[in-house]
Chain A
């Protein structure tokens, strides 16, 4: 008890030094948490934009479809297939799609686009498509109408209730042609998606392409995204040999590569940050040791065991580091939430570079609890690890040398 009392008095004997130590840890935690939050938030948004809002986490396809994406490689959509897929534990929702590229025109403007036949309700369960509706109304099953993405509608200079013409190649080489009134306009964050998607109801698309009961893929969302690989393995066991289960990572290897590269850069930045933090903490510890060396030597001379001295330093260090960490965590929570609700938006060349990759040029914060405790824990461990320096000095301390002025 007396050691705690003495440690408490020592902590406040030089308020400035203690506050500098605590501040170093406080800002270290904030920087570390915010940097990690922005990084995770950015990639979370990227995955959500490309995966959660379009491709799904897993797709079931006919073998060979991925390499040659034509309707002839489509699968037969049936209740039994639906039951097989739904039987896997981690499946949250699934939706069949019939996708094919086609030409879309209005007046004298023609654009290439991806026409996607969907089960409107199921699609919305998997990709929250309905939430992307900006104008008009959402599709209903059996509608003979179309939803256009905002960018595509702008390029074709079309708005609600206008009619759009589609021409393309259907199943087994048949000609696909149709005209549809625009029922709604959708908005995607990722420019690549926002400029080229058009949605029909599945029966309308099957009719357009002459592909009755066909689907090019079944898009799946998961309860737990961390169990992606296990779920795919489970599905592979359940499915016919003619079908394949692909994860979003298989379908978008360039995104995975980009994330890996960015993760590596982020790790270097974080290591540099930890290094700066370490120097900050070490500086104050060195200052403290120089300031108190004489006194420590004197206490050992008087008969204070080095074990007690070490315990005293541990109490002081733990208190300082934990207080700095907790204060830093408390301060970083509102900052992370602020960036979650008010993402940083990139403009200029940097923003354009992001959009060229098909990403929305935003950097939102993530508020996953893991970010806070993991970064707090890392800085805490770093602080405690550096506190070993005074312990090392005490263990080697010779009272006569320490008391030499």
Chain B
């Protein structure tokens, strides 16, 4: 049996609770194990991004508990949460979000600098990641000189750099063309298969949903369905 990475227990998030309450996530139970390749799907406003933000410790639930590797992150202070994210969670955002003044290599290295990793280890890890995403030849290029697909691959490498427990990707293919999206999915799928890296996506993209092995559908902040398509192969 795989190790439990995420255990969201009766999680709710209500915006504006004092005036006109707007429930974005409503009593959700979600259990994610190591090595999953899971898509959170649902219409706009269904609570996908909010749930992702809650799991990622970017936002705090108004009810319920979220355990990451057994740690109740709802009990952590803001500073502890920042530190927790740095060491345990990788993020890939919809609009790439690389640091514009840094090169591809420096963007990946940035997380390792925040972690205080020594230079030799950093160099080794960054080169390995650049190789994995196929952008060794673009290492000294700034984001503005990379295509959207290449930028998103750098963002994935940056998310992987810290060796997180899982990666949260918020609509990672939304701004990519078909070829770039397929290429990105290939990389993530390979990392999932070869390194047992856990991926959780929020997505509308059928290409992503088709590659996912588990699809959790949200409607009005509640889990409407939770379907596993294939058993994990390890």
B46 within 8 A of A: no
Q: Which residues of chain B are within 8 angstroms of A299 by Cβ–Cβ distance?
A: 99
Main secondary structure of the interface of A (DSSP, over half): helix
**B residues contacting the other copy or chain, number (CB 8 A):** 26
Assign chain A's interface to a size class.
20 to 34
Alpha-carbon gap, A308 to B162, bound state (A): 18
Q: Which residues of chain A are within 8 angstroms of B100 by Cβ–Cβ distance?
A: 13, 295
Contact with A along B97-111 (1 / 0, CB 8 A): 101111000000011
Is the CB–CB distance between A300 and B82 below 8 Å?
yes
Alpha-carbon gap, A308 to B79, bound state (A): 12
Q: In chain A, what residue has the closest Cβ to B78?
A: A306
Q: Which of B31-39, B85-93, B193-201, B202-210 contacts A (4 or more CB under 8 A)?
A: B85-93
Q: Which residues of chain A are within 8 angstroms of B86 by Cβ–Cβ distance?
A: 302-304
Is the CB–CB distance between B102 and A304 below 8 Å?
no
Is the CB–CB distance between B97 and A304 below 8 Å?
no
Q: Which residues of chain B are within 8 angstroms of A9 by Cβ–Cβ distance?
A: 101-102
A239 within 8 A of B: no
Q: Which of A295, A305, A399, A403 is close to B99, meaning CB atoms less than 8 Å apart?
A: A295
A273 within 8 A of B: no
B124 smallest CB distance to A (angstroms): 17
Q: Quick one: given A9-B101, A13-B101, A400-B53, are A303 and B58 in contact (CB under 8 Å)?
A: no
Which parts of A302-321 form the interface with B (CB within 8 Å)? 302-306, 308
B59 within 8 A of A: yes
Q: Which of B78, B97, B102 is close to A298, meaning CB atoms less than 8 Å apart?
A: B97
Which parts of A365-405 form the interface with B (CB within 8 Å)? 399-400, 403, 405
Is the CB–CB distance between A301 and B58 below 8 Å?
yes
Alpha-carbon gap, A97 to B110, bound state (A): 80
Is the CB–CB distance between A303 and B99 below 8 Å?
no
Q: In chain A, what residue has the closest Cβ to B59?
A: A400
Alpha-carbon gap, A299 to B110, bound state (A): 10
Q: In chain B, what residue has the closest Cβ to A3?
A: B113
B120 smallest CB distance to A (angstroms): 15
Which parts of A79-127 form the interface with B (CB within 8 Å)? none
Alpha-carbon gap, A303 to B87, bound state (A): 8
B141 smallest CB distance to A (angstroms): 15
Q: Which residues of chain A are within 8 angstroms of B158 by Cβ–Cβ distance?
A: 302
Q: Which residues of chain B are within 8 angstroms of A10 by Cβ–Cβ distance?
A: 101
Is the CB–CB distance between B101 and A304 below 8 Å?
no
Q: Which residues of chain A are within 8 angstroms of B162 by Cβ–Cβ distance?
A: 303
Q: Which of A2, A298, A306, A399 is close to B113, meaning CB atoms less than 8 Å apart?
A: A2
A117 smallest CB distance to B (angstroms): 78
B224 within 8 A of A: no
10 A-B interface contacts by CB (under 8 A): A301-B58, A302-B110, A302-B158, A303-B86, A303-B111, A305-B82, A306-B82, A400-B53, A403-B97, A405-B95
3 A-B pairs with least C-beta separation: A303-B86, A9-B101, A298-B97
Q: Which residues of A contact B (CB under 8 A)?
A: 2, 6, 9-10, 13, 294-295, 298-306, 308, 399-400, 403, 405
